[in-house]
Structure 1
Amino acid sequence: MRPQVAYKPLDNLSPHNCLLVSLPLYIALSLYTLFAETHTQTMVHLVSLSKAMLFLTTSTILLLSVFLSSIDQIKIVSDLFQTQKLSASDKHIIPIVDAVGPESLAFDPHGGGPYTGVSDGRIIKWLQNERQWIGFAVTSLHRDGCEGSHDHEQMEHICGRPLGLRFDQRSGHLYIADAYMGLAVVGPEGGLATKVATEAQGIPFGFTNGLDIDQRSGVVYFTDSSWRYRRRNYISVIVSGDKTGRLMKYDPKSKETTILLENLTYPNGVALSKDGDFILVADTTNCKILRLWLKSSKSGIVEDFAHLPGFPDNIRRNLKGEFWVAIHVKRWKILKWLLSYHWVGNTLIKFPFDITKLYSYLPKWRVCGLAVRLSEDGEVLEILEDKRRNGWKFVSEVEEINGSLWIGSIRMPFVGIQERVVFHYYEEMDYFVLMVLYCKGKIRRK
Structure 2
Amino acid sequence: MMKLFLVVAICIALFLSLTDFSGESPKHGESMLTVHFPEFRLIPTTGASGPESFVFDISGEGPYTGLSDGRIVKWIANESRWINFAVTTPTREGCEGPHEHQRTEHVCGRPLGLAFEKSTGDLYIADAYMGLLKVGPEGGLANQMITHQLDEPLRFTNGLDIDPRTGVVYFTDSSSVYQRRNYIGVMMSGDRTGRLMKYDPNTKQVTTLLGNLAFPNGVVLSQNGEYLLVAETAKCRILRYWLNDTSASKSRESYEIFSDQLPGFPDNIKRSPRGGFWIGVNTKHTKLTKFAMSNVWLGRAALGLSVDWMMVHSYWARYKGNGMAVRLSEGSGAISEVFEGKSGNKWLSISEVDERDGTLWVGSVNTPFAGMYKI
Deviation string for 1:25-83 (max 9, x for gaps)? xxxxxxxxxxxxxxxxxxxxxxxxxxx666533320133345677594537x8799994
Alpha-carbon distance in structure 2 between the residues aligned to 1:73 and 1:190: 41
Following superposition, the deviation at residue 204 of structure 1 comes to 0.5
2:68–2:99 CA contact under 8 A, matched in 1: no
1:86 to 35, 52, 55: 35
Structure-2 residue corresponding to 1:419: 374
Alpha-carbon distance in structure 2 between the residues aligned to 1:279 and 1:149: 32
State the one-letter code of the partner of 2:358.
G
Structure-2 residue corresponding to 1:303: 256
Give the secondary structure class of the aligned counterpart of 2:102: helix
Structure-2 residue corresponding to 1:362: 316
Alpha-carbon distance in structure 2 between the residues aligned to 1:126 and 1:400: 15
Range with bigger deviation, 295-304 or 78-87: 78-87
Following superposition, the deviation at residue 320 of structure 1 comes to 4.5
Give the secondary structure class of the aligned counterpart of 2:181: helix
Give the secondary structure class of the aligned counterpart of 1:74: coil
Cα distance change, pair 144–91 in 1 and its aligned pair in 2 (3 A)? same
1:131 to 54, 75, 80: 80
Deviation string for 1:176-226 (max 9, x for gaps)? 000000000100011110111111132101100000010111100000000
State the one-letter code of the partner of 2:256.
E
State the one-letter code of the partner of 2:278.
W
Alpha-carbon distance in structure 1 between the residues aligned to 2:364 and 2:21: 23
Alpha-carbon distance in structure 2 between the residues aligned to 1:120 and 1:281: 26
Following superposition, the deviation at residue 287 of structure 1 comes to 0.5
1:409 to 360, 364, 368: 364
Tell me, yes or no, if structure 1 residue 177 matches structure 2 residue 126: yes
Alpha-carbon distance in structure 2 between the residues aligned to 1:362 and 1:335: 15
TM-score by length of 1: 0.78
List aligned pairs for 1:338-377, cutoff 5 A: 338-362=292-316, 364-377=318-331
Alpha-carbon distance in structure 2 between the residues aligned to 1:149 and 1:376: 36
Tell me, yes or no, if structure 1 residue 74 matches structure 2 residue 24: yes
Following superposition, the deviation at residue 288 of structure 1 comes to 0.5
State the one-letter code of the partner of 1:115.
Y
Cα distance change, pair 55–204 in 1 and its aligned pair in 2 (3 A)? farther
List aligned pairs for 1:37-436, cutoff 5 A: 55-65=4-14, 70=20, 72-74=22-24, 83=32, 85-148=34-97, 151=100, 153-295=102-244, 296-297=246-247, 298=249, 301-307=254-260, 308-362=262-316, 364-377=318-331, 378-420=333-375
Cα distance change, pair 132–347 in 1 and its aligned pair in 2 (3 A)? same
State the one-letter code of the partner of 1:175.
Y
Deviation string for 1:332-358 (max 9, x for gaps)? 110110121111111211222122222
Give the secondary structure class of the aligned counterpart of 2:235: coil
Alpha-carbon distance in structure 1 between the residues aligned to 2:218 and 2:66: 15
Give the secondary structure class of the aligned counterpart of 1:56: helix
Following superposition, the deviation at residue 148 of structure 1 comes to 3.7
Structure-2 residue corresponding to 1:29: none
Give the secondary structure class of the aligned counterpart of 1:112: coil
Structure-2 residue corresponding to 1:441: none
State the one-letter code of the partner of 1:417.
M
Alpha-carbon distance in structure 1 between the residues aligned to 2:288 and 2:355: 33
Following superposition, the deviation at residue 365 of structure 1 comes to 4.3
Q: Report 1 or 2 for greater relative contact order, CA contacts < 8 Å, sequence distance ≥ 6.
A: 2
Range with bigger deviation, 372-381 or 328-337: 372-381
Alpha-carbon distance in structure 2 between the residues aligned to 1:109 and 1:235: 35
Deviation string for 1:81-130 (max 9, x for gaps)? 99463211321111111211001101111111111111111111111122
Give the secondary structure class of the aligned counterpart of 1:254: coil
Following superposition, the deviation at residue 387 of structure 1 comes to 2.2
Give the secondary structure class of the aligned counterpart of 1:134: strand
Range with bigger deviation, 164-173 or 263-272: 164-173
Cα distance change, pair 57–201 in 1 and its aligned pair in 2 (3 A)? farther
Following superposition, the deviation at residue 152 of structure 1 comes to 6.2
Task: Tell me the matched-pair count.
Answer: 368
Higher helix share: 1
Following superposition, the deviation at residue 366 of structure 1 comes to 3.8
State the one-letter code of the partner of 1:352.
S
Following superposition, the deviation at residue 391 of structure 1 comes to 4.3
Give the secondary structure class of the aligned counterpart of 1:358: helix
State the one-letter code of the partner of 1:356.
M
Name the % identity. 49
- Structure 2: where are the runs of 5+ without partners? none
Give the secondary structure class of the aligned counterpart of 1:60: helix
State the one-letter code of the partner of 2:199.
Y
2:317–2:348 CA contact under 8 A, matched in 1: no
Alpha-carbon distance in structure 2 between the residues aligned to 1:152 and 1:240: 20
Range with bigger deviation, 275-284 or 128-137: 128-137
Asked which structure has the greater CA Rg, the reply is 1
Alpha-carbon distance in structure 2 between the residues aligned to 1:217 and 1:190: 23
Range with bigger deviation, 138-147 or 384-393: 384-393
TM-score by length of 2: 0.92
Higher strand share: 2
State the one-letter code of the partner of 1:304.
I
Alpha-carbon distance in structure 2 between the residues aligned to 1:80 and 1:254: 48
